[in-house]
Amino acid sequence: MDFRKDAVALDLSGEWQMAFSDEGGQFHSSKELTASGLPIYPAQVPGNFELDLHRNGMIPEPFFGMNIAELTKWEHAHIWYMRQFVAPPLPETHEALICLSATNRNMTCYINRQGFSWYSPALTLLSALLDYDDMPKIQGTNDLVIHLAPEVQDNYHNNPLSFAQPNRYESLRVRRAPHEYGWDIMPRAVSAGIWRPIKLLYLPKERIENVYLETLSIGASNASARLVLHFDCKLDASCYAETYEIEVEGRCGDSVFTKRERMLFGAGRMNVQVPSPKLWWPKGKGDASLYDVTVRVFKNGAELDHLHFTHGIRTVELIRTSVTDEQGSGEFLFKVNGERVFIHGSNWVPVDAFHSRDRERIPAILEMAVDLNCNMLRCWGGNVYEDDLFYEICDREGILIWQDFSMACAVYPQDESFQRTLADEVRSVVRRLRQHACVALWAGDNECDQAWSWGGRRQDPNRNVLTRKVIPDVLLEEDPGRPYLPSSPYIDSEAFAKGEKYLPENHLWGPRDYFKSRYYTESLCHFASEIGYHGCPSRKSLEKFLSPEKLWPYQNNDEWVLHSTSPIPGYDLYDYRVELMAKQIRELFGEVPDNLDDFAFASQVSQAEAKKFFVELFRTSMWRRTGILWWNLMDGWPQMSDAIVDYYFEKKLAYGYLKTSQQPLLLALREPRDWHQELLACSELRESTPLTYTITDVESGEVMLSGEGIAKPDSVTVLGRIPYSASWKRLYKIEWDGGTNHYLCGNPPFELETYRQWGQSAGIL
């Protein structure tokens, strides 16, 4: 959380200059860099080196055709950014600090020729305030040069324990977003740049360094709440020599709390009671009430410093067991304020391969998450730690955040040096994000427990010191009250002995065959934190990133392979994904269309019906199943993928289908049993809901069922049933007061044109 918005003396974002070279150099000032003979180019901060190259006409549009594959030649460049700035007058009571939010690569910063060097996860992965103990005097005109050096890969020796995909071994010791080295959803773009803002801050010399307002408990019937303010202040003298006080004040509508106490030391805690609190609830459960909070520090009655932030009064629990079984005796359940919450939402993956563009894309993407009624987003471990804006919006909208730490699909180094690096990173991340009410869960990584058995040996992931000791030790100190999951999926000792089939939380990828196959319908997990299905973008979008001659056919097409995404041309990492999309079409419709428009349409139908089925499979099994986070909402670059919205914000068919399936009150048909299908009311509402309903065969117009009923609150209610025959191929329209849904009845193959006609008649296309 950005506690220091009002301390910005100067925003250094905007027009800069840059130079680059294949060789390093010692340039301590703009004057030296200009005199070096290196060409000087205009640049943007925030920005990415590759985007500056494109703006200067030195490379073509990176996302078009095969162009992204040519960026590897720039991975070893030394890059210098420079600018001069005039600082406003610095009060005698304050000191100047530079806040560098995020860079790629090793960095050396020269301010008026004085250099500071570090390689910090706080820079490469998140926004953080960096304090310099020996900051040079900043006044008048100042010269700023930032040198970004490539990571020296010769120093990254791995051992036989380590495991990663071939293109990602070099990433294991580099604390930057894993996806940058190439993933099945992201291109290889080992970028450089200053991709979040740089600011000059003027802070009081005696000041608040760190605060955390934590909700400890909520009383019976929500009559009161107990909070505690943890604080750490930088003070000049012993608190016994002067009278220091700390005050906290919070306001949410007509609910107000305030408390002021004397400080006997610069660090401590203060308990706060809030009568009749306004609680923060996740979307669908109530208002996401936020208190505007101010913390002030006084010296002899005069204010020294203050911080503003928001606080949501709420508690979060994760109730889980090590394993489950065929009878569903296990559990993986989120409770907020003591109430269980059925989870439906998406995985949050990189919103752009070049992260300087993240902030401008985030609001529109989250607007769609709200429209889709998502109540949780899982920040996937292959990503950066997202911009502050992301968490601020999720706080306001009541969207819970499952936050992975930035490790994915690998066995990372276990040595003490790497442990220290990771501990510093985790501490920085937690201190920045813990104040956000939306953050419901810390998770150690993505699929690293599973990766311990991917290298040919079945190894026990509970030997992983990073997620079993390093991370929880930091969390114990910095955020002991929030749930922690060592990995997703988490394989503890009992689960390792019994087998992954019995995990209560799992990623359901498997063969990715017909979406109603036994792999999906007989899965035992209570919570699916990843599950997806392919969908091809429309011609309109494909024409924006594929060469005209490569639009069709998809077979033996290098641009389709690259954008599907297999990130290293000529090296088969994920080349299968193009044909996988075709297989999924063939599974549903019996054949693959011979033209682009029908192919794209058929693929989007296949994806939409699959994801709709996954969500409704879980919702109709509420509370045996407790949540589903489908993969994924938005593409971070132009590709054929599981995303339901492509990079250009064009919605695929699945968007509308999922919006229907995630509405708070849903009527859906359970899968057939004993020649019948049950009509179910799946309600996440707090009260019983009377309704009238009709099921109609859209082709014949036959009414299969109609009637009245009551949907019970927060549960599944059987309303009636209709006959079923495996020989039927139909599309039913389900209607009720204020809502509609549809159901594709029968077994594939269906005919594509018939489906199109059904969909148009039902109003879903």
One domain for residues 263 and 119: no
Least confident interval from 108-112, 292-296, 664-668, 733-737: 108-112
Q: What is the pLDDT of residue 107?
A: 82
Alpha-carbon separation of residue 489 from 12, 272, 410, 530 (angstroms): 42, 37, 13, 9
**Does 371 fall in a domain?**
no
For 332-351, the pLDDT digits (tens) are 999 999 999 999 999 999 99
For 434-463, the pLDDT digits (tens) are 999 999 999 999 999 999 999 888 999 999
Q: What is the pLDDT of residue 688?
A: 97
At 506, the amino acid letter reads N
Domain boundary pick from 203, 238, 271: 203
Local confidence band at 131 (pLDDT 50, 70, 90 cut-offs): very low
d(CA 504, CA 323): 6
Q: What is the pLDDT of residue 155?
A: 56
One domain for residues 163 and 243: no
Tell me the CATH number at 159.
Answer: 2.60.120.260
For the residues 699-718, what does the mean pLDDT come to? 97
Q: Which domain holds residue 730?
A: 665-762
pLDDT higher than 50, residue 376 = yes
Q: State CA 538 to chain mean position distance.
A: 25
What contacts 360, CB < 8 A, 6 or more positions away?
Answer: none
Local confidence band at 103 (pLDDT 50, 70, 90 cut-offs): confident
Local confidence band at 24 (pLDDT 50, 70, 90 cut-offs): confident
One domain for residues 232 and 193: no
For the residues 719-733, what does the mean pLDDT come to? 96
With 0-12 CB in 10 A as exposed, 13-18 as middle and 19+ as buried, what is 659? middle
d(CA 597, CA 676): 37
pLDDT higher than 70, residue 134 = no
For the residues 600-615, what does the mean pLDDT come to? 98
**Does 690 fall in a domain?**
yes
Tell me the CATH number at 262.
Answer: 2.60.40.10
Tell me the CATH number at 669.
Answer: 2.60.40
One domain for residues 680 and 704: yes
Q: What is the pLDDT of residue 31?
A: 95
pTM of the model as a whole: 0.96
**Does 493 fall in a domain?**
no
One domain for residues 259 and 239: yes
Q: What is the pLDDT of residue 530?
A: 98
Local confidence band at 56 (pLDDT 50, 70, 90 cut-offs): very high
One domain for residues 232 and 147: no
SS3 435: coil
For the residues 540-568, what does the mean pLDDT come to? 97
**Does 59 fall in a domain?**
yes
One domain for residues 72 and 173: yes
Local confidence band at 25 (pLDDT 50, 70, 90 cut-offs): confident
pLDDT higher than 50, residue 128 = no
Local confidence band at 132 (pLDDT 50, 70, 90 cut-offs): very low
Local confidence band at 207 (pLDDT 50, 70, 90 cut-offs): very high
Question: Comparing 110 with 39, which gets the higher pLDDT?
Answer: 39
pLDDT higher than 60, residue 420 = yes
**Does 415 fall in a domain?**
no
pLDDT higher than 60, residue 698 = yes
Nearest to 355 by CA among 199, 177, 541: 177
**CA 688, 693, 695 angle in degrees (round to 5)?**
140
Q: What is the pLDDT of residue 127?
A: 36
Structure-token pair, residue 308: 């503003």
Q: What is the pLDDT of residue 257?
A: 97
d(CA 93, CA 203): 8
DSSP class of residue 757 equals: H
One domain for residues 141 and 268: no
Question: The dihedral of CA 506, 511, 516, 519: what is its sign?
Answer: negative
Q: What is the pLDDT of residue 241?
A: 78
Q: What is the pLDDT of residue 135?
A: 55
d(CA 619, CA 617): 6
Local confidence band at 124 (pLDDT 50, 70, 90 cut-offs): very low
**Does 425 fall in a domain?**
no
Q: What is the pLDDT of residue 115?
A: 75
One domain for residues 196 and 214: no
For 139-189, the pLDDT digits (tens) are 789 999 999 988 765 556 678 899 999 999 889 988 889 999 999 999 999
- Under 8 Å between Cβ of 168 and 182: yes
Local confidence band at 242 (pLDDT 50, 70, 90 cut-offs): confident
Q: What is the pLDDT of residue 557?
A: 97
- Under 8 Å between Cβ of 733 and 745: no
Percent of the chain at pLDDT > 90 equals 85
**CB burial string 28-64: b at 16+ within 10 A, e below:** bbbebbeeeebeebebbbbbbbbbbbbeeeebeebbe
**Does 488 fall in a domain?**
no
One domain for residues 13 and 142: yes
Q: What is the pLDDT of residue 123?
A: 40
Q: What is the pLDDT of residue 90?
A: 86
Local confidence band at 120 (pLDDT 50, 70, 90 cut-offs): very low
pLDDT higher than 80, residue 467 = yes
SS3 472: helix
Nearest to 754 by CA among 574, 548, 605: 605
**Does 492 fall in a domain?**
no
With 0-12 CB in 10 A as exposed, 13-18 as middle and 19+ as buried, what is 245? middle
For 168-180, the pLDDT digits (tens) are 988 998 888 999 9
Domain boundary pick from 311, 337, 368: 311
Number of domains in the chain: 3
Structure-token pair, residue 337: 């304020």
One domain for residues 53 and 121: yes
Q: What is the pLDDT of residue 669?
A: 98
| Residue-averaged pLDDT of the chain | 93
One domain for residues 48 and 32: yes
Domain boundary pick from 155, 181, 203: 203
Q: Which residue has the tokens 């003027």?
A: 202
